[in-house]
Amino acid sequence: MIEICWNPPATVRDGFAKAISKPKEERMPRVRGGSVLRTDTGAFWYCDGDWRLKGFENAYPAVLAYVPCEDVAVDSEKFKTLLIDGRTYIKVYGQPLPVYREILRSSQPAAFYSTALGKGVYVKQSRITEARDPLAFAEQFLPAMERERATFQSLADVLHVPLKSIGISGSTLVLGRPERRHEIDVVFYGRSACRRIARLIERNRDDVVFSRVSLPPFHLPFQHHGIWFDPQFSEGDRERHPLDGASIRIVRRFGETTVRIKDDRDGVFFPALYGTTNRRRLISFRLGHRGFFRRGDTVVFPSLSLIRMTYANGQLETAYGILNDEWGEKR
């Protein structure tokens, strides 16, 4: 049995205690879903929120996004790149898992704690030098971009949310300046609001309000008034992530397994949570599974883990877990 948790040595715990006891003016901005973190390695990371599994109290869940080109032995012409402060960065985020892992391990060996969560890792708080906030950046971005501001306002009207509640993340936030990109990553907050927003997005995919098609091979992006949006969904400031403080134990692994999706309301979050017809939830740490499965879908997994969740309040749950290499496809 494998325990996906970590017991930090006293020196690390003490270092974290010192870090969070700094004067208020020296602390980082609030870290939330969609925040961009920068580490002392020079890398940029997409943060998946302010929550952590048991044992990772001094870290944030994140996915490696961009690394300095000179730090990895790859052919940069085969990667998307960004020029930031005169330095070329390669985009790691969208690479296949084996390529992503190799770059992650070779360029960031001391910046994160390894786990079995797909591309997800826990970035050490002590290595973070900057945290960029999606909501604060949107307030700077939109006044400088007239066309984008008008489209954002229309988007807010369709989804019945305040304009100021929509954050901007992704490569636009990595650049940190008003600049038109191929698509704009937008972040919505509050679990109830996000469920409603996700339904409205799908309901308005009619080629009039939003585009029917996405951006292959991706399934969540949509086009509105000529601008592509890639939505992300996260808990609100006053909400605790359901897995915060939980531990995961792998009970066993199955071979080919078929499940039928019964409830997809929490499938847009990270990790994606789906109800199944056999009463066990499906918990996926694969980013590509966010919003991927729909109610009524039959999904086939070449392999699948059975996990035991112990939540912060002591509650236990046995569920299906999609961890490192596991992947499911609709039949």
Q: Which domain holds residue 268?
A: 247-330
Tokens in use for 201?
């997005």
Residue 29 confidence (pLDDT): 73
* CATH code of the domain in which 186 resides: 3.30.460
Whether 260 contacts 277, CB under 8 Å: yes
Q: Is residue 324 part of a domain?
A: yes
Same domain? 102 vs 91: yes
* Three-point CA angle 240, 244, 246, nearest 5°: 145
Spatial distance between the Cα atoms of 271 and 236, rounded to a whole number of angstroms? 15
229 and 252 share one domain: no
Is the model's pLDDT at 1 over the cut of 70? Answer: no
For residue 214, being part of any structural domain is answered with yes
* Integer Cα distance of 204 and 33 in angstroms: 25
Q: Is residue 241, in this structure, part of any structural domain at all?
A: no
In a domain, 239, yes or no: no
Which of 100, 132, 164 is the C-terminal boundary of a domain? 132
Kindly state the average pLDDT of the residues 47-54: 96
Span of 14-18, 98-102, 182-186, 293-297 with lowest mean pLDDT: 14-18
Residues 314 and 194 in one domain: no
316-322 and 282-284 as β-strands: parallel, antiparallel, unpaired? parallel
| Cα 143 from Cα 132, distance rounded (Å) | 18
Q: Which of 188, 208, 234 is the last residue of a domain?
A: 234
Report the CATH number at residue 295: 2.40.50.140
Q: Which CA distances in Å does 278 have to 85, 243, 274, 293? A: 53, 22, 12, 16
- Is the pLDDT at 36 greater than 90? The verdict is yes
Which segment of 162-166, 189-193, 213-217, 235-239 scores lowest on mean pLDDT?
A: 213-217
Shared-domain flag, residues 253 and 163: no
Q: What is the pLDDT of residue 218?
A: 87
Do both 293 and 228 map to the same domain?
no
Q: Mark whether 198 and 266 lie in a shared domain.
A: no
Residue 60 CB: number of other CB atoms within 10 A?
23
- Say which range, 22-26, 44-48, 317-321, has the weakest mean pLDDT: 22-26
Domain boundary among 106, 132, 158: 132
The pLDDT of residue 14 is above 80: no
251 shares its domain with 281 = yes
Structurally, the chain folds into a number of domains equal to: 3
Residues 144 and 125 in one domain: no
Q: What does DSSP assign to residue 205?
A: B
CB 32 within 8 A of CB 138: no
> Quick one: which of 100, 113, 116, 114 has its CA closest to 66?
100
Residue 253 is classified by DSSP as E
Mean pLDDT along residues 313-328 = 94
242 in any annotated domain: no
Characterize the bridge pairing of strands 87-91 and 257-266: unpaired
For residue 130, the SS3 value is: strand
> Predicted confidence band at 57 (pLDDT cuts at 50, 70, 90)?
confident
Does residue 240 fall inside a structural domain?
A: no
196 contacts: CB under 8 Å, gap ≥ 6: 160
For residues 39 and 118, membership in a common domain is answered with yes
- Report the pLDDT value the prediction gives residue 6, as an integer from 0 to 100: 38
Which residue type, as a one-letter code, is found at position 166? Answer: I
Q: What is the pLDDT of residue 114?
A: 77
Q: Is there a cis peptide before residue 217, judged by omega within 30 degrees of 0?
A: yes
Does the structure show a pLDDT above 90 at 54? yes
pLDDT value at residue 199: 97
Residue 58 domain flag: yes
41 shares a domain with 102 = yes
* Residue 284 near residue 272, CB atoms below 8 Å: yes
Q: How many helices (H) and strands (E) does the chain have?
A: 6, 21
The overall average pLDDT reported for the chain is: 90
- The answer to whether residue 320 sits within a structural domain is yes
Same domain for 53 and 72: yes
Q: How far is CA 17 from the centre of its chain?
A: 26
Question: Model confidence at 22, in pLDDT bands (50, 70, 90)?
Answer: very low
Least confident of 6-10, 194-198, 285-289: 6-10
Q: Can you tell me the distance from the alpha carbon of 61 to that of 271, in angstroms, rounded to the nearest whole number?
A: 11
Q: Pseudo-torsion of CA 231, 235, 236, 238, nearest 10°?
A: 180
- Here the tokens at position 318 are 């046995």
For the chain, helix, strand, coil in percent to 5 are: 25, 35, 40
Residue predicted with more confidence, 165 or 19: 165
Chain center to CA of 217: 17
Give yes or no: residues 35 and 124 share one domain: yes
- Angle between helical axes of 146-159 and 134-144 (0-180°, round to 10): 130
pLDDT tier at 217, thresholds 50, 70, 90? confident
Chain centroid to CA 189: how far?
13
Tell me which residue of 267, 324, 316, 269 sits closest to 296, measured CA to CA.
267
d(CA 83, CA 78): 16
